[in-house]
Structure 1
């Protein structure tokens, strides 16, 4: 069986390349560090170009937010393209979305959404054409978490797969408790045309869509909000569920990532996978698994997997039929204890996860992993 190269974004100054061998001659799957590229502080989000996956963009999560570009060879070894480094359009870029010719950046602390033309050939970026949209914020709304919701905090940008007539951008905003809906105007720039309201104080972090349902992951309350979501029609709130068996979740826990891998021949049933950070349990943070067997409008928590990791920010499915899940712990409070990288295999048709490989702890503890790309 082939080996896989996995890129790792981090809370260090580097992006790392791991080699995952599902079936080595030893018979036991292995996960090893191949190389690293120094890029600058906190490359916490990484994204490959949709038509040239050897071209990778990263956001440097810092006050003077930057975008850096890397080029990788077929062996997973890369270098930073210094001439392509440019501003992100705000402080702490935490999510990038790439199209063939545009990068869309959610700047968390800057309260902005920024776009810039890109290409698959040098110079790769065109910073002179950087465009910035300040996301709205209504100050003084009762019920907000004032320590985290003092301004707008856009946390992600994804396309709405239900809108088949025009591209619609969805942007969860942790600060405003909204998911912004944007479309492109005649001037080629994105404009807000509406929003989906989340529960006050919930803090929308990431979203996913399955069927005609929008799932909003609420970081501050560790909840999954479920909405009927037909493009062009009013959105209906259906239910809100805890992302952990501890209901309500302790205030120190913060939900982070939500994934819904597309059903396939190996895993025909739909499941939602959610990471829960900062669990105080000695066996670390959990990955919650919700079944959609009763329909996408009725997710049911059917399992929790203890990872031994702390502060799980990023996890990504990969391999044939999305068989494997790479999971990273950035460490307690984003640093140190509990940092590491593990590979899980989906079992029981996707209802469960079984750990099959782990990066050596002396190496993994130094990565402070936050994001992944399967090359």
Structure 2
């Protein structure tokens, strides 16, 4: 197998390019730094254009939010990226992006706004300097007054159960809701419904399978499960369970990422993987693994893998049949690649780079 390329978002000023070789001619799998592309303050999220994977967008988490377009492939290599466009994000601290063929959709965490910009795969890449914005509703300060004094959109994702890409789901940590947005005839997005969660839960990210929606609640470290139906029907809550075997201390910002890879020939059983941050254990933060063997609506915690990383945030599956999981520690430990074992029920560390090489990794993209 040829080496694989991984792009790394960070809380530094750069996007990193890594090379992961799972099958070198001699020795164990390797993870190497190829390049570092300076782009600006805290490029914490990266997403690629759906029809041009060499075109990457990132958001700069800062009060005067910006988005940046980066073009890879200079000289036939993905090592170096060139910044080819910049624009305002339509708010403060853009922490999540979704790219369509002709639109960049931005979630601005601190200002509670969703914004869009027209984009293309050719110069000038971002076609307007002025984003269209939508302010998310906010009724009252939530139970966690330090984190829920306003709307905080934390992810933008197409409804995974609707392949038409006509509905967006927006987990709002501040409002304890997942907003459901639909596109109108004028091309603008509008709120058409929402899902309510427990007070102080703090919805962060979602995943789905079949007719079931799984929502990761950051502030209570729970996995909430709903039967999910098309609008205008309301989702039906099924259950919720902690993302750790030991009950977490409330409001400690633990649960971070949720992944639900598609089953395949090597991993026919379905598992949900969630990352948990800020564990004082000497072996670092955990990745919790839930089995769906008992049914979509009945996830069961079957394993917790110690990562040796501090403040695990983003992670991403890649390689043939999603065999590998790349994970980073924002506050220590660098970047590691794990291999799925035991049919996906376990993870084994196979390669790593120290924090002195890749600083404050927050998100990943298999190139």
User: What is the match of residue 148 of structure 1?
Assistant: 147
Q: State how far apart, in whole Å, the 2-side matches of 1:166 and 1:206 are.
A: 18
In structure 1, the residue corresponding to 2:52 is in which secondary structure?
coil
User: What is the match of residue 240 of structure 2?
Assistant: 240
Q: Which runs of 5+ in 2 are unaligned?
A: none
Q: Deviation at 1:187?
A: 1.1
CA contact (8 A) 2:144 2:251 kept: no
User: What is the match of residue 28 of structure 2?
Assistant: 28
User: What is the match of residue 105 of structure 1?
Assistant: 106
Q: State how far apart, in whole Å, the 1-side matches of 2:144 and 2:21 are.
A: 44
CA contact (8 A) 1:112 1:135 kept: yes
User: What is the match of residue 323 of structure 2?
Assistant: 323
User: What is the match of residue 204 of structure 1?
Assistant: 203
Q: Deviation at 1:161?
A: 2.8
CA contact (8 A) 1:303 1:351 kept: yes
CA contact (8 A) 1:216 1:226 kept: yes
User: What is the match of residue 78 of structure 1?
Assistant: 80
Q: State how far apart, in whole Å, the 1-side matches of 2:157 and 2:91 are.
A: 18
The CA deviation string for residues 92-131 of structure 1, in whole angstroms up to 9 with x for no partner, is 0000001111111010001100011100001000234521
**Residues 320, 166 of structure 1: alpha-carbon distance in 2 compared, 3 angstrom cutoff:** closer
In structure 2, the residue corresponding to 1:244 is in which secondary structure?
coil
CA contact (8 A) 1:344 1:353 kept: yes
Q: Deviation at 1:186?
A: 1.4
User: What is the match of residue 252 of structure 1?
Assistant: 252
Q: State how far apart, in whole Å, the 1-side matches of 2:211 and 2:196 are.
A: 17
In structure 2, the residue corresponding to 1:139 is in which secondary structure?
coil
1:168-187 correspondence runs (5 A) = 168-187=167-186
How many residues are treated as equivalent by the alignment? 364
- Say if 2:356 is the partner of 1:362: yes
Q: Deviation at 1:275?
A: 0.3
Q: State how far apart, in whole Å, the 1-side matches of 2:155 and 2:136 are.
A: 12
In structure 1, the residue corresponding to 2:77 is in which secondary structure?
coil
1:306-317 correspondence runs (5 A) = 306-317=306-317
User: What is the match of residue 350 of structure 1?
Assistant: 344
Q: State how far apart, in whole Å, the 2-side matches of 1:129 and 1:62 are.
A: 17
Q: Which moved more, 1:2-11 or 1:229-238?
A: 229-238
The CA deviation string for residues 192-218 of structure 1, in whole angstroms up to 9 with x for no partner, is 010000111000010111111111100
User: What is the match of residue 41 of structure 2?
Assistant: 41
Q: Deviation at 1:77?
A: 2.0
CA contact (8 A) 1:32 1:360 kept: no
1:87-166 correspondence runs (5 A) = 87-140=88-141, 144-164=143-163
CA contact (8 A) 2:341 2:348 kept: yes
Q: Deviation at 1:248?
A: 4.3
User: What is the match of residue 8 of structure 1?
Assistant: 8
Q: Deviation at 1:342?
A: 0.1
Q: State how far apart, in whole Å, the 2-side matches of 1:164 and 1:123 are.
A: 29
Q: State how far apart, in whole Å, the 2-side matches of 1:254 and 1:34 are.
A: 31
Q: Deviation at 1:253?
A: 4.6
**Residues 63, 165 of structure 1: alpha-carbon distance in 2 compared, 3 angstrom cutoff:** closer
How does the TM-score come out when normalised to structure 1? 0.94
User: What is the match of residue 373 of structure 1?
Assistant: 365
Q: State how far apart, in whole Å, the 1-side matches of 2:221 and 2:70 are.
A: 34
Q: Deviation at 1:26?
A: 1.9
CA contact (8 A) 1:59 1:65 kept: yes
Q: State how far apart, in whole Å, the 2-side matches of 1:339 and 1:95 are.
A: 24
CA contact (8 A) 1:162 1:212 kept: yes
Q: Deviation at 1:348?
A: 0.6
Q: State how far apart, in whole Å, the 1-side matches of 2:247 and 2:298 are.
A: 18
